């Protein structure tokens, strides 16, 4: 990280000390602890310390607006908040552990090994995704789910020779892959400084630290190939996920860099990381309409089902359900939504569950899964899952807005933008952009706000998204 190198031994002692300190401040096994720390080795040590204390962590991304972070804290109700003195003070009644001001106190604690007493089904983390009601959903994942991505891995070269770049947002499920992937296998984890994913910094870090492995959203992969193609000549493997891969970009990458091991993956946060992966062979993406996302990892299952939960034949689209060791417990504080999305698995072991993803997919003739897009209103932009309803709820919370709609537009090929439409006599686009920026993560802030006299409707009264004008 920057000019700092941390050994496994140092990380072990740091995290052991902080784990004991947390326990001394009242954190007990089964509790939740919020981590509000800038990306750094101290952030990694804090996450490990929470797990060693027998608790589960939830990441509070410092780049997110305070109001959103406070909303997350209200849902999680953590036993403790780990933070730094230069970051904003958040609303919580939890015990606060300031890594900046309490260095001496933490350093005075023993760094010897800690026994956690945790169980495989104990909560390891809570990750928040976009929610249609305007309230983010907290996905509760167990230790079993957290490590399921690394059990019998045959898709990435986890091991001492791997150097993995951690550049995904810390609140994203890919964070766990980029940190625990190398750390569980004796590899090197390189942390990008700052909170935003920075393509120029990725180039510099790959060169300086001889990074071997990159995990990127499809949008970032495309951008890196278009603007910084030399990066792919220096790494050994790249994995793209989070949205549909571009066959054109994939084919270009493998044509220019035949040594590159390139994979396309799929997996919602509710399945804790990747559920399926597909290794793309040179020439395998030329002329195809879509790049497959492959088959399930060891211990995980994927089904394409029809409306009656019957198995769809090969080539027939259906809704994608996922199951297995990576499955989350459900959503924190939302039993009704959990029951709706996590349902009984009629094809798995007795008592097992599966997650209804809302994604459309089909099995191709080669037995690989093809992702066909969303089956509901949830959309993806730059690899992030977005519920338009959450953006609309924030917009209509402004007193000058009566109605709102948020959509992804692609008025120019390859230029996908989030655009909001509002109705309100006194509505001001500039004011509303500031309003959303103060309450939503950067990736959910519209690129433009359009004020209309009324929203277009279909004959049956539903919003006619296709009739919304270009900004």
Token reading at 145: 């789910």
> For 200-219, how does the pLDDT look when each residue is reduced to its tens digit (9 = 90+)?
999 999 999 999 999 998 88
Over residues 22-26, the mean pLDDT reads 97
pLDDT in tens, 46-79: 999 999 999 999 999 999 999 999 999 999 999 9
Strand partners, 423: 403, 452
Residues 6+ apart with CB under 8 A from 355: 268, 270, 271, 321, 322, 323, 327, 328, 341, 342
Among the residue ranges 50-59, 180-189, 319-328, 411-420, the one predicted with the least confidence is 411-420
Tell me the mean pLDDT in the region 300-328.
95
At residue 276, the pLDDT reads 95
Name the nearest CA neighbour of 87 among 156, 130, 35: 35
The whole-number average pLDDT for the span 412-422 is 90
Residue 326's closest CA among 272, 265, 268? 272
What is the CATH number assigned to the segment(s) 8-280?
A: 3.40.50.12780
Q: Is the pLDDT of residue 459 over 60?
A: no
Q: Give the closest residue to 215 by CA, choosing from 275, 169, 183.
A: 169
Closest CA to 247 of 210, 187, 293: 293
What was the pLDDT predicted at 261? 96
Phi and psi at residue 359, in whole multiples of 5°? -95, 150
Cα–Cα distance for residue pair 21/27, rounded to 1 Å: 9
Q: What is the DSSP letter of 227?
A: H
pLDDT band with cut points at 50, 70 and 90 for residue 132: low
Mean pLDDT, to the nearest integer, of 126-140? 84
Question: Would you state the pLDDT for residue 133?
Answer: 66
Hey, where are the domains in the chain? Answer: 8-280, 387-452
pLDDT band at 318 (very low <50, low <70, confident <90, very high): very high
Beta strands in 365-429 (DSSP E): 369-374, 379-381, 384-386, 403-412, 415-423
Q: What's the pLDDT score for residue 375?
A: 79
pLDDT band at 322; cut points 50, 70, 90? very high
- 387-452: which CATH topology? GMP Synthetase; Chain A, domain 3 (3.30.300)
Best CA proximity match to 193, nearest among 441, 42, 37, 2: 2
Q: Which of 271, 30, 47, 260 is nearest to 174 (CA)?
A: 271
Cα distance between residue 23 and residue 416, in whole Å:
47
Would you say 370 and 318 are in contact if contact means Cβ atoms under 8 Å apart?
A: no
Contact 360, 320 (CB under 8 A): yes
Q: What is the mean pLDDT of residues 297-308?
A: 95
- In whole angstroms, what is the distance from residue 166 CA to residue 174 CA? 9
Which region among 29-38, 174-183, 359-368, 462-471 has the lowest average model confidence (pLDDT)? 462-471
Q: Kindly state the average pLDDT of the residues 22-47.
A: 97
CA dist 336 → 61, 330, 340 (Å)? 27, 10, 6
What is residue 242's predicted lDDT score, i.e. its pLDDT? Answer: 82
- Which residues make beta-bridge pairs with 429? none
Report the chain's terminal Cα–Cα distance, integer Å.
Answer: 41
Which residue, 145, 141, 138, 143, is CA-closest to 334? Answer: 138
pLDDT tier, 325 (very low <50, low <70, confident <90, very high otherwise) = very high
Distance, in Å, from the CA atom of 223 to the CA atom of 235, rounded to the nearest integer, reads 16
> Three-class SS of residue 218?
helix
Q: What is the 3-state secondary structure (H, E, C) of 297-351?
A: CCCEEEEEECCCCCECCCCCCEEEEEEECCCCCEECCCHHHHHHHEEECCCCCCC
- Give the pLDDT band (50/70/90) at residue 376: confident
Q: Return the number of other C-beta atoms located less than 10 Å from residue 319's C-beta.
A: 19
The residue assigned the tokens 């933008």 is 417
The domains spanning 8-280 and 387-452 adopt the same CATH topology: no
Q: What is the mean pLDDT of the chain?
A: 92
């Amino acid at each position: 990280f920057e000019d700092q190198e941390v050994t496994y031994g140092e990380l072990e002692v740091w995290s052991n000390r902080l784990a004991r300190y947390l326990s001394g401040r009242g954190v007990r096994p089964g509790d939740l602890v919020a981590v509000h720390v800038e990306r750094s080795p101290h952030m990694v040590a804090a996450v490990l310390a929470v797990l060693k204390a027998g608790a589960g962590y939830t990441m509070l991304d410092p780049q997110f607006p305070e109001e959103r972070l406070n909303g997350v804290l209200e849902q999680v109700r953590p036993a403790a908040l780990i933070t730094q003195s230069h970051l904003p003070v958040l609303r919580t009644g939890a015990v606060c552990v300031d890594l900046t001001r309490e260095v001496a106190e933490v350093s005075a604690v023993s760094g010897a090994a800690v026994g956690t007493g945790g169980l495989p089904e104990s909560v390891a983390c809570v990750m928040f995704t976009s929610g249609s009601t305007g309230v983010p959903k907290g996905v509760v994942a167990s230790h079993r789910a957290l490590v399921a991505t690394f059990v019998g891995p045959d898709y990435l070269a986890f091991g001492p020779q791997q150097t993995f770049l951690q550049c995904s947002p810390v609140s994203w499920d890919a964070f766990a892959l980029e940190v625990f992937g190398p750390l569980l296998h004796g590899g090197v984890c390189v942390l990008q400084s700052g909170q935003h994913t920075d393509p120029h910094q990725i180039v510099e870090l790959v060169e300086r630290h001889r990074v071997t492995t990159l995990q990127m959203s499809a949008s970032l992969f495309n951008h890196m190939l278009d603007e910084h193609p030399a990066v792919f000549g220096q790494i050994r493997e790249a994995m793209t996920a989070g949205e549909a891969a571009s066959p054109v970009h994939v084919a270009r990458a493998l044509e220019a860099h035949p040594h590159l091991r390139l994979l396309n993956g799929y997996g919602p946060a509710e399945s804790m990381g990747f559920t399926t992966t597909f290794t793309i062979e040179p020439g395998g993406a030329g002329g195809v309409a879509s790049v497959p996302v492959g088959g399930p990892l060891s211990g995980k299952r994927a089904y394409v089902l029809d409306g009656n939960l019957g198995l769809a034949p090969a080539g027939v689209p259906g809704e994608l359900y996922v199951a297995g060791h990576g499955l989350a417990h459900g959503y924190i504080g939302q039993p009704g939504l959990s029951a709706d999305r996590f349902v009984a698995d009629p094809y798995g072991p007795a008592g097992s569950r599966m997650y209804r993803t809302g994604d459309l997919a089909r099995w191709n003739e080669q037995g690989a899964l093809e992702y066909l897009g969303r089956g509901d209103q949830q959309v993806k932009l730059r690899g992030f899952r977005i519920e338009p309803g959450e953006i609309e709820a924030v917009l209509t919370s402004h007193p000058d807005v009566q109605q709102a709609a948020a959509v992804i537009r692609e008025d120019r090929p390859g230029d996908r933008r989030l655009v909001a439409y509002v109705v309100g006599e006194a509505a001001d686009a500039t004011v509303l952009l500031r309003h959303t920026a103060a309450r939503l993560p950067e990736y959910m802030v519209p690129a433009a706000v359009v004020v209309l006299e009324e929203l277009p409707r279909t004959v049956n009264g539903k919003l006619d998204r296709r009739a919304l004008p270009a900004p």
